Chains A and B, each alone.
Chain A
Amino acid sequence: MSGADSITQLPHNGWLARTQPNTTLQGRKFAEFCLEVSGGKRAFFMMPQTPFTQSTFNNFKIAYDKVGGATELLIYDDKKPSLRTEVDQAMRYNADCIFVGGYLTDTTVLLRDLFRAGFKGKIVGPGYSINQKLVESVGQPEATEGAYGMLPSPQEGSNGWKKVADLIKQASPDPFSCQIYDHINLAILAMAQAKDASGQAIRDTVRAVSQGGGEKVDNAVDGLKAIAAGRKVDYDGASGPCDFTELGDITDVKFRYEQVKAGKMALVRIA
C-alpha cells in the first residue's frame, strides 16, 4: 500500500500494479487544492524528512509553476521540541497558503505556532494529520479553524464501495479495505480473462480487465459472467476506476476534502 514513487520505478518488469496513489499524483492534487482554496499563487511547503518529501514537493511545485506561482520547501526535523524558527521562515515567505505535510504531533506544534505568529492565509495538509484528533490536541479551536485536510478517498457511493460497506459491516469503509477488495476482484478477473490461474496470467491481462472500455463491472461475480459470455469488461472498483499506467500506478483517484468548521471536521467534497 506504499505511495512512494520509487516503488513502481523499480525494475519490476510489469509485475507490480498498485491502487494506492503515488506521491506524484498526491503532490499535484495537494497543489491544485492549495491553489483553489487560497486564490493566490504563493505557497510554503513544510514537511518533515521522509523518503517521499522531496518527490511530493517536486510535483507540488510543478503544479504551481504551471500557473506562474511560487513555492518554497522547508524540510524540518520533526523531533525538534520547538518549531518556532521554522514558522518564522514560513512567515517571512508571505505565503497565501502553507502546506503542512507532517504527522499529528509535529503538525500540532506547527499549527499552534502559526496561530501565535498570526498567520492569516490558508492551511492545507494531509487528512492523516489534519483531522479531529488534531483539533483536540491543539486545544484551541481558533488555531485549527478553517484548516483543510485531504486524503485519497474510496469511490464513495459507487456500487463497489457499497458492496465493501456491506461485506465489512461499516457505513464508511476505509480506503485500504476498498483497495484490497479491488485487488482480489482484479486478480480473479485477470485469471478468468487469461483462462490461466497463475501470476503470469494476472501480470499479462490485468489491464485487459481493468481499463480500455467494455462492460462496467464492480465485482468478480458479474465480471466472470461477462467474460464467460465473451464480453470485454472494464472494472470500476470500490477504491476508484482502477486504471493503471504502464509503470503500474493508478491514473486517477478521488480525494476526500475536509475543513475544520466550528471545531469539527466538515466534508467539503469528494472529487
Chain B
Amino acid sequence: MVSSIIQALLNGLVSGTILAVPAIGFTAIFAVLRYPNFAIGSLATIGAYAGWLANVRLGWPLEASFGLAFVGAGIATLAAEWLAVRPLEKSGALMMAICSLAVGIVLENIVRFAFGNEARGFNVPLMRDIRFGDLRMSPQQVENFAVALLLMALLWAALNLTRMGRAMRATADNPDLARLKGVQPGTVAAITVLVGGGLAGIGGMLVALDTAADPLTGFRLILSVFAAAVLGGLGSIPGAVLGALIIGMVEELTVLLLAPNYRTAIGFAVILIVLTVRPSGLFGERAG
C-alpha cells in the first residue's frame, strides 16, 4: 500500500506539473482581464491538435510542434477574445465568463468537424517505463515534466526580467496606476491572452503526448485547472502552480481511496472549501 501511495503521488506530481501550464494561462488571463476564461479547456484541445498536425501530418519534431501548439492556441484565444468576449466587456465579468463557456463549446465542435471524434496519437515512440523498485515512471512523463518546468522558468523570467513582463504584472496589480505609468493596457491584454492561450495549448499537447488527442482532451482538464487556480488564488501565478500540484496529487490519490464517481466531486469540493474559507486562495490575488 505504501508503494501504491508513493506511486500515486509521483503520478500526481507529474500530472500536476502538466496541469500547472494551462492553470498559469487561466490565472494570467484572469489577473489582467478580470474574468475566468472557461474556453481554456477547448483552447488546450486546439493546442493538442495543432501540435498533432505539426508532428504527425507535417512531420515536425516535437520542439517545433510545441511551437505550433502555442501559436495555434494563442491565436485562437486572441481571436475568441476580440470577436466574442471583448464586445461584452461592458456587461461585466459574469457575461464574459458565460460567453467564454459558449466559445469553448464552439471551438470543441470545430475540432470535431475538422478532425473527427477519433483519438489521435503523436508520432513518438512509446517507451517502456523506468523502474525504481516498486515504482515506475515513463520517459514521456519525465520529458513532459521537464517541458512544463522549463516553461514555468521561462515565464518567470519573462514576467520578472522583461519590460513587458513587468507591465503585465503592473496591470494585474493595479491597472489604473499602470496606465499612469505609460503602460498600454490594450497591448498588455493582447499579449496576456496570447501567452495564456498559448500555455493552455501546450498543456493540451503535453496531455495528448502522454495519452492521445481527442476533442475532449481539454474539456477533461477544465475542472482541475479551475480548481487549481482557485486553490492557489485566482490571479496568482505561483498559486496556480502550487494549486495544480496539490490537485494533481489529490486526484491520483483518490483512485486508491475513493470510488471514481467522487473524483469530480474533489474538484468541486476544493473550489467550495476555498471560496468559503479563504476566497483569496493560498496566494491571494497578486500575480507574479
Closest to A134 in B: B119
Q: Which of B123-131, B165-173, B237-245 contacts A (4 or more CB under 8 A)?
A: B123-131
Q: Which of A73-81, A168-176, A203-211, A244-252 contacts B (4 or more CB under 8 A)?
A: A73-81
Check: A84 CB closer than 8 A to any chain B CB: yes
How far, in angstroms, from A76 to B256 measured CA to CA in the complex?
A: 11
How far, in angstroms, from A91 to B281 measured CA to CA in the complex?
A: 38
Closest to A77 in B: B260
Contacts A81-B221, A116-B138 hold; do A140 and B126 have CB atoms under 8 A apart?
yes
Which one of B136, B221, B264 has the highest number of Cβ atoms from chain A below 10 Å of its Cβ? B136
Assess whether B212 is in contact with A140, with CB atoms less than 8 Å apart.
Answer: no
19 CB-based A-B contacts, threshold 8 Å: A75-B260, A75-B261, A77-B264, A79-B219, A81-B207, A82-B15, A83-B211, A84-B141, A89-B4, A89-B256, A92-B4, A105-B212, A105-B216, A112-B126, A116-B129, A137-B212, A138-B121, A140-B121, A142-B126
Main secondary structure, interface of A, reads helix
Query: What is the number of contacts between chain A and chain B, taking CB atoms within 8 Å?
Result: 106
Known: A80-B263, A142-B126; 13 extra A-B contacts, CB below 8 A, are: A77-B263, A81-B207, A81-B210, A81-B220, A81-B224, A82-B15, A83-B211, A88-B11, A112-B212, A116-B126, A133-B118, A140-B121, A140-B125
Check: B255 CB closer than 8 A to any chain A CB: yes
Complex interface residues of chain A between 76 and 104 (CB less than 8 A to chain B):
76-77, 79-86, 88-89, 92, 104
How far, in angstroms, from A79 to B214 measured CA to CA in the complex?
A: 12
Contacts A82-B211, A137-B119 hold; do A49 and B11 have CB atoms under 8 A apart?
no
Assess whether A85 is in contact with B7, with CB atoms less than 8 Å apart.
Answer: yes
Chain B residues whose CB sits within 8 angstroms of the CB of A51 once the complex forms = none
Chain B residues whose CB sits within 8 angstroms of the CB of A143 once the complex forms = 126
Assess whether A104 is in contact with B119, with CB atoms less than 8 Å apart.
Answer: yes
Assess whether B127 is in contact with A82, with CB atoms less than 8 Å apart.
Answer: no
Complex interface residues of chain B between 184 and 232 (CB less than 8 A to chain A):
207, 210-212, 214, 216-217, 219-221, 224
**Closest-CB distance, B45 to chain A (whole angstroms):** 12
How far, in angstroms, from A174 to B207 measured CA to CA in the complex?
A: 35
Closest to B131 in A: A118
Complex interface residues of chain A between 54 and 80 (CB less than 8 A to chain B):
75-77, 79-80
How far, in angstroms, from A92 to B120 measured CA to CA in the complex?
A: 29
Chain B residues whose CB sits within 8 angstroms of the CB of A104 once the complex forms = 118-119
Assess whether A82 is in contact with B11, with CB atoms less than 8 Å apart.
Answer: yes
Assess whether B129 is in contact with A105, with CB atoms less than 8 Å apart.
Answer: no
Tally of chain A residues near chain B (CB < 8 A): 33
How far, in angstroms, from A49 to B264 measured CA to CA in the complex?
A: 12
Closest to B223 in A: A79
Check: B21 CB closer than 8 A to any chain A CB: no
**Closest-CB distance, B28 to chain A (whole angstroms):** 21
How far, in angstroms, from A48 to B221 measured CA to CA in the complex?
A: 18
**Closest-CB distance, B239 to chain A (whole angstroms):** 21
Assess whether B212 is in contact with A108, with CB atoms less than 8 Å apart.
Answer: yes
Residue of B122, B123, B216 near A79 (CB, 8 A) is B216
**Closest-CB distance, A215 to chain B (whole angstroms):** 46
How far, in angstroms, from A81 to B207 measured CA to CA in the complex?
A: 7
Contacts A89-B4, A89-B255, A116-B128 hold; do A79 and B118 have CB atoms under 8 A apart?
no
Check: B58 CB closer than 8 A to any chain A CB: no
How far, in angstroms, from A116 to B212 measured CA to CA in the complex?
A: 14
Chain A residues whose CB sits within 8 angstroms of the CB of B212 once the complex forms = 105, 108-109, 112, 137-139
Check: B259 CB closer than 8 A to any chain A CB: yes
Assess whether A84 is in contact with B126, with CB atoms less than 8 Å apart.
Answer: no
Which one of A105, A117, A133 has the highest number of Cβ atoms from chain B below 10 Å of its Cβ? A105
How far, in angstroms, from A218 to B143 measured CA to CA in the complex?
A: 60
Which one of A118, A136, A139 has the highest number of Cβ atoms from chain B below 10 Å of its Cβ? A139
How far, in angstroms, from A118 to B130 measured CA to CA in the complex?
A: 10
How far, in angstroms, from A225 to B115 measured CA to CA in the complex?
A: 52
Assess whether B251 is in contact with A80, with CB atoms less than 8 Å apart.
Answer: yes
Chain B 255-276 against A: per-residue CB contact (8 Å), 1 yes, 0 no? 1100111011000000000000
**Closest-CB distance, A224 to chain B (whole angstroms):** 44
Closest to A133 in B: B118
Check: B8 CB closer than 8 A to any chain A CB: yes
Assess whether A137 is in contact with B256, with CB atoms less than 8 Å apart.
Answer: no
Chain B residues whose CB sits within 8 angstroms of the CB of A89 once the complex forms = 4, 255-256
How far, in angstroms, from A80 to B129 measured CA to CA in the complex?
A: 20
Assess whether A136 is in contact with B118, with CB atoms less than 8 Å apart.
Answer: yes
Assess whether B259 is in contact with A75, with CB atoms less than 8 Å apart.
Answer: yes
Which one of A85, A86, A139 has the highest number of Cβ atoms from chain B below 10 Å of its Cβ? A85
Closest to B116 in A: A133
Check: B108 CB closer than 8 A to any chain A CB: no
Complex interface residues of chain A between 229 and 243 (CB less than 8 A to chain B):
none
Assess whether A117 is in contact with B129, with CB atoms less than 8 Å apart.
Answer: yes
**Closest-CB distance, A145 to chain B (whole angstroms):** 12
